[in-house]
Structure 1
Amino acid sequence: MRYYYAEHQAAYRRLEQEGLTQWNDLFEDDRTGDFDAFPNRAFLERALVRLGLTTADVLEYGCGTGAAACFLAARGFRVDAIDLIPEAIALARRFARQRGVSVNFSVQDVCAMPAGSKQYDVILDSYCLQSIVTDPDRASVLTAVRDRLKPNGHYILSTAMYDPDRVYEDNFRYDATTGICYERSTEPADDAVQLDNTWYLPHRRHLRPEALRAELEANGLQVLSQEGELRGDVICTPTRRG
């Protein structure tokens, strides 16, 4: 089992059991009780206006319970949305039905996307990338993004960033060099690393703004804008080849 699976499966099972609607509802400080008040909504609305998009083919990966996908579908966008966790996709389909919108939801691991010929005007990440931690996995995701964007398409990304005020609890360890946050593990497992004779699993990747920009550019994406308090809201377009 990959490092990112168990935490997310448990979270979406809890969401269903407790009658909650999105990931942030698991945290009292972030809970709104409003499915439509997803965290990157304001940025997404600004991005759509800036890019002049009123209808387009969209792929959202790591869609969770589908709030952003439903938001776009309700406005006439043609949306494919994927998530690794079957429980998340089941909830997303239910919420879409309740709202009378059409989204093509499917269970798929963005870190292992099969080759495909469909290209998109927009690829959206609503706070998924920080949970994709290792260099090979992030390269796989960003390569998939680059290859699936139309030549004039846009990658709209919201991701958690390094925050000097964030406190990592005792069972976590942050590597300032890589931006990787590790979580202590009770035993060796797939993807585990040993630090000071203790096993840890990759947990999050909290990069500084300049490191995120460099990573995106290294994977064939030109950064058009980078904003937000910690500069984790980004719009990219494919770097022109040749």
Structure 2
Amino acid sequence: MPQYDRRYRELKAAGLPGWAGAAHTRGLARLTAALDRLGSEGAIPAAPADLLELGCGNGLGALAMAQRGYRVHGIDLSPTAIAWAEERFAAAGLAGAFRIGDVREMSAFADQSFDIVLDGSCLHCLIDDDDRARCLTEVRRMLRPAGAFIVSHMCGPPKSADAKARFDVQTCRLIEDGAPARALKPLAALAAELTAAGYTVCRTWLAENPWWDHATLVCSSSWHASAICSSTAP
């Protein structure tokens, strides 16, 4: 979508680190802490596993995982973000493979290509239920046996006055510029959606914030022997 690429052009011109501007570093710290915790507990495949980040943006999350020894790939709609990620990896002397693309259709990636698929706060940007289902089906196709799908998702209802004023309670959607922009499903609804899409939800936890909460869910494909789930309890 053009607005995403425009946003990345503006961020880069302003010298800001990522999608959330100055707040991006805080979100990245939360994500990497969660991934380090999962890795230390054996709840996700260890490096040098193959990892794909959905909605990788300008590569900050992917860079953190590459620095931990993972073989990283990323996909994002924004050409500016992908070029920025490639620049960032080149400057760090690290290898990463990045692709402009739509997470609803990822046929460029073969079946069972990845040990980990990481939702880089991308799924909550898919508003339509059919679009979300298409993405979840693609992820299942690409996961290897004993692979892990890590979902990072805004979790409603919002708490701040501004967000409450822009929240549609009936659809659990946050409105921006008059149109639905983010899905803020309750944690139980997220887990039910993933289960219906063919995943086993192995672990969930909720980071509480003053504006809205953020959920992390670790999943495996239900058709595989659940090595991920056997190593961790919800």
> What's the TM-score bracket when you normalise by the shorter of the two chains?
0.7 to 0.9
Paired with 1:63 and 1:141, the residues of 2 have a C-alpha distance of 15
Paired with 1:121 and 1:178, the residues of 2 have a C-alpha distance of 33
Give me the CA root mean square deviation: 2.4
1:155 maps to 149
* 1:47-58 mapped onto 2 (5 Å cutoff): 47-50=38-41, 51=43, 53-58=46-51
Secondary structure, counterpart of 1:88 in structure 2: helix
Larger radius of gyration: 1
For 1:45, which of 15, 19, 36 is the aligned residue? Answer: 36
Closer, same or farther: CA 163–42 of 1 in aligned 2, 3 Å: farther
For 2:186, which of 198, 208, 213 is the aligned residue? Answer: 208
2:15 maps to 19
Deviations 1:48-78 (A, max 9, x none): 2222613201111100111111111122211
**1:38: how far off?**
4.5
2:221 maps to 238
1:78 maps to 71
The 8 Å contact of residues 209 and 231 in structure 1, kept in 2 or not, is answered as no
Structure 1 gap ranges (5+): 185-199
Secondary structure, counterpart of 1:234 in structure 2: strand
* 1:1-242 mapped onto 2 (5 Å cutoff): 5-25=1-21, 28=22, 30=23, 32=25, 37-50=28-41, 51=43, 53-114=46-107, 116-118=109-111, 119-168=113-162, 173-184=166-177, 200-229=178-207, 230=213, 232-240=215-223
Secondary structure, counterpart of 2:13 in structure 1: helix
1:188 maps to none
Aligned residues: 217
Using structure 1 for the length normalisation, give the TM-score.
Answer: 0.81
Q: Which has the higher helix share?
A: 2
Paired with 1:177 and 1:47, the residues of 2 have a C-alpha distance of 34
% identity of equivalent residues: 33
The 8 Å contact of residues 83 and 108 in structure 1, kept in 2 or not, is answered as yes
Structure 2 gap ranges (5+): 208-212, 225-234
